[in-house]
Structure 1
């Protein structure tokens, strides 16, 4: 389809609107522990300590990921003039919006404005996508690289010879994805190869300018590894590339799950659209005259990516984000056929809607009956002692019950109203997340409170220790810039630390570790403060001489206590 001003303006208005929704109230709640503050701190240290080549966390080498995205976070903080929550989240939001814009552009070219708008809306309002788009993570920039590379290669395959520069750029994007997170960024070439083999066009691969393409694909990694080797030697290459990047990509490290994990997980995290993919694939098979090559490629990409990630041993729901853009194209095409009258019956929409209705009403009723007890059990306080959590609890069951009722009413209306009800649910969920749910949960999820109390008591004579994990328990450093001096794994090391001369501050990632290994007399010279961070109670032990100028006056910073 030839682009025109009306179509271009429509897409721009849509994408800008999504951007405004994503950035709304983005700084009203702290970084979500443990990943967000850790990644933000690595980015901050890149900027303030000049660690652009070798990522650092707590002034120690951070081996788990390459530096590319952390450097973007660092640059964002520099441009903003401060390392605020908004500044460190902004790169991810911008990249997610650029991904949506790229998707809309290619779908507009191949299948028209309606499918472009529908696909963009579906991707933007899929729960797992918008959740990740609004927080710091490495998967959004990775999926941007792989999706754009895949769409460019697909667009060029009919005439690689006359599209050399953009083809080379696609390979460069795959290489860039590898230094963002993982060598799994090679997926676009795999999906294109399968697509061409299925369509008996594999000879087209010979037309790729292979020498230049491969050079620019490995160029980002070569540049990074050259300078990394100069600074840290072979041991860094061995740990970061061989053990971490390759290990996670092959599944030898990470999060092992069974083969069928995504069959269960994907429908839950890709709500509210996930249940429509089955009827969409059915009508893809049935309506052969309504297909287009982009839809064919999207179906192949969706299935190949799903199978590849199911075969890899390490599995998390964020890994499957790679197929979300193609999933959105498939479901967007499906709704277009309904809205254009190519699919006359309503049952292929009504059946997924009924599944959602049953699911949402069940969740709403369950929360109404058991939500108060669940919160009390998890957070160890009563809702009647904290009005904000009581409001959160009520809002949750009203949201799911109300959505179930609205979905039920919508099935008696026109198809476009059913689509609109799904979009409205996601928009309301985003607004409630950013104005109520996340700000309320902030008190039991953020490490900022611990960081502020540590900073209030800290002076240069103090020695700071951590009894916990370097990777999972260093997020507090982002808020105060105070690096801990020692990290402990054994109780005897901690005992020696708190009994040593000088002034000590100790952070413990799990309160039970102190109470199970020490008697109260062992730490009577310390003030102990407790903080709920996620599912754990963290402790901050401050030697009492350091409290002279401190405003600490409570033993608990857990909401409701």
Structure 2
């Protein structure tokens, strides 16, 4: 029997949302997240690395021990790469589409599950709006269309929390609920390490503790623990058999526990996410703060202690505090809390549209919606003026800018005009408290920004971020000759060149490599900043090397190719 303090949705909701809401979200999600996944190349650092791991996994038919450039790779568990290979059966090989498809499909799943959970917590309209909040967030769109493990992880975390809340809401637990929960937890560990299990478990424990209600915790949790241990033990045993003690230790300690203990990379200040989250959750982050206040402040909501409010709040807090506490921090780590934030914002938007929000909440919402909409309208108008000014000036410096955008000049104009209109009409609606119009304008503004980012601006910067051009020039120059690599290896060059590189760790190793006699010319690729060091080491051994014969900018780094011919 449902708990009495769950907030029922007594407000009138459009039958279209009730009946077709999930279908509408599925269509929009598929259009934004799945269409033309190959419109840009794989961008460093993560995408080409994951593509190369999956390629070497498929070529060697070795699905447990991961490799890059023939060397053991212990940074990540194998599940994402298995999904890439599975998708490659549909796409015809390891390519941009197959590498990104697991993340894109997970993005669609997260949106639909947000709707389902929002409908259960707050009603159909709130769930529908929560799904649209995610889809109108530019960062969510970008990451969904990129090869990252964080959205599949987010989907697994959501499924675990949904299963737990379903059992809690019933007041009883089916025997298979906890085995399913722990099975998903094992998948989470195999997707991105222990965090895939710890986050939902901590959220569910804290929720039960604050509610002082442990009825959902059932004896079948012991059976679930057996399932969890069996799956992970099988994987780790196979990994130990193929990689040995050292590789197993590196996988478990170096890249998983090591990140929590601060022994891995990406160290950031403690307050890093306090500055990051508001930026990546725009345009909804100001309303999220208000949504929290409206949910828990006296007089701003009728469900101060309700489980429906508590669940996403606890979920958000656990993820945020956990990643704030560990030294290793990346912006991507915030993705598992996006659905929780979207649910709270969706509830606030629903209360505004239905007339259930307090006057204070309406007063704050008016400005928190009007300001970003007005700023976007103003920036769009300024952008149109700047484009016109550049077009008529015609000097050499400004023509470089025109050359960059001229292929999409019409699309940029349409984009700017659309944003200007949405910002103006939306800000006006918000100031007059016409909430359906203001909310619609906010959502359409986010969708427009996401569409333009994906299909206009990202392709414009593709050549600067992709290793394809450098790799093609390298292959054309080198032919069948061996190529060495000095310094930090660029997986994008490995992937797009389709070759393995002999990795040299020291400048003296490069000089030694160039000093060897060979019937063919010898080549070495590296970042340009290392060139003076290599030139000095070669000069000390009376070795003449060429000036860089290939030079390209890749992802903010300049790569070069050196040659020695006898």
Range into which the TM-score falls when normalised by the shorter chain: 0.7 to 0.9
How far has the Cα of 1:9 moved from its partner?
Answer: 3.2
Structure 2: which 5+ residue stretches go unaligned? 1-7, 388-395
- Residue pairs, 1:444-463, within 5 angstroms: 444-460=464-480, 462-463=481-482
Conservation of the 8 A alpha-carbon contact between 1:171 and 1:216: yes
How far has the Cα of 1:396 moved from its partner?
Answer: 7.8
Report the CA distance shift for 1:159/1:422 in structure 2 as closer, same or farther (over 3 A). Answer: closer
- Residue pairs, 1:481-496, within 5 angstroms: 481-484=498-501, 486-496=502-512
Equivalenced residue count is 532
Measured against aligned partners, the alpha-carbon deviations of 1:437-466 in whole angstroms (never above 9, x if no partner) come to: 111111111001122223334444x22211
How far has the Cα of 1:512 moved from its partner?
Answer: 2.3
Q: 1:312 maps to what in 2? A: 326
Q: 1:384 maps to what in 2? A: 399
Conservation of the 8 A alpha-carbon contact between 1:504 and 1:542: yes
Alignment of 1:190 with 2:190, yes or no, is no
Measured against aligned partners, the alpha-carbon deviations of 1:13-62 in whole angstroms (never above 9, x if no partner) come to: 32122112212332121011121111111111111121310111111111
Q: 2:177 maps to what in 1? A: 166
Q: 2:447 maps to what in 1? A: 427
Report the CA distance shift for 1:119/1:453 in structure 2 as closer, same or farther (over 3 A). Answer: same
Report the CA distance shift for 1:205/1:488 in structure 2 as closer, same or farther (over 3 A). Answer: same
Q: 2:101 maps to what in 1? A: 90
Q: 1:295 maps to what in 2? A: 309
How far has the Cα of 1:247 moved from its partner?
Answer: 1.0
Q: 1:440 maps to what in 2? A: 460
How far has the Cα of 1:271 moved from its partner?
Answer: 1.0
Which secondary structure state, in structure 2, belongs to the residue aligned with residue 537 of structure 1?
strand
- Residue pairs, 1:9-88, within 5 angstroms: 9-88=20-99
Q: 2:390 maps to what in 1? A: none
- Residue pairs, 1:352-431, within 5 angstroms: 352-357=368-373, 360=376, 382=397, 384-385=399-400, 387-391=402-406, 403=419, 406-413=422-429, 414-431=434-451
How far has the Cα of 1:435 moved from its partner?
Answer: 2.5
Report the CA distance shift for 1:250/1:527 in structure 2 as closer, same or farther (over 3 A). Answer: closer
Q: 1:548 maps to what in 2? A: none
Q: 2:486 maps to what in 1? A: 467
Conservation of the 8 A alpha-carbon contact between 1:407 and 1:418: no
Alignment of 1:219 with 2:264, yes or no, is no
Alignment of 1:136 with 2:144, yes or no, is no
Which secondary structure state, in structure 2, belongs to the residue aligned with residue 314 of structure 1?
coil
Conservation of the 8 A alpha-carbon contact between 1:29 and 1:439: yes
Measured against aligned partners, the alpha-carbon deviations of 1:216-240 in whole angstroms (never above 9, x if no partner) come to: 2233321211111111111111111
Conservation of the 8 A alpha-carbon contact between 2:548 and 2:560: no
Q: Within 2, Cα distance between the matches of 1:247 and 1:241?
A: 8
Conservation of the 8 A alpha-carbon contact between 2:484 and 2:524: yes
Q: Within 2, Cα distance between the matches of 1:251 and 1:524?
A: 41
The TM-score normalised by the length of structure 2 is 0.85
How far has the Cα of 1:208 moved from its partner?
Answer: 4.5
Q: Within 1, Cα distance between the matches of 2:17 and 2:401?
A: 51
Alignment of 1:479 with 2:496, yes or no, is yes
Conservation of the 8 A alpha-carbon contact between 2:373 and 2:427: no
Alignment of 1:330 with 2:347, yes or no, is no
Match of 2:355 among 332, 338, 341: 341
Q: Within 2, Cα distance between the matches of 1:435 and 1:206?
A: 47
Alignment of 1:259 with 2:270, yes or no, is yes
Q: Within 2, Cα distance between the matches of 1:464 and 1:341?
A: 68
The TM-score normalised by the length of structure 1 is 0.86
Q: Within 1, Cα distance between the matches of 2:293 and 2:216?
A: 30
Alignment of 1:514 with 2:531, yes or no, is yes
Q: 1:248 maps to what in 2? A: 259
Which secondary structure state, in structure 2, belongs to the residue aligned with residue 530 of structure 1?
strand
Structure 1: which 5+ residue stretches go unaligned? 372-380, 546-561
Which secondary structure state, in structure 1, belongs to the residue aligned with residue 559 of structure 2?
strand
Which secondary structure state, in structure 2, belongs to the residue aligned with residue 233 of structure 1?
helix
Report the CA distance shift for 1:496/1:138 in structure 2 as closer, same or farther (over 3 A). Answer: same
Which secondary structure state, in structure 2, belongs to the residue aligned with residue 450 of structure 1?
helix
Q: Within 2, Cα distance between the matches of 1:351 and 1:507?
A: 58
Q: Within 2, Cα distance between the matches of 1:223 and 1:12?
A: 39
- Compare 450-459 and 134-143 and name the one that shifted more: 450-459
Q: Within 1, Cα distance between the matches of 2:455 and 2:139?
A: 18
How far has the Cα of 1:121 moved from its partner?
Answer: 0.8
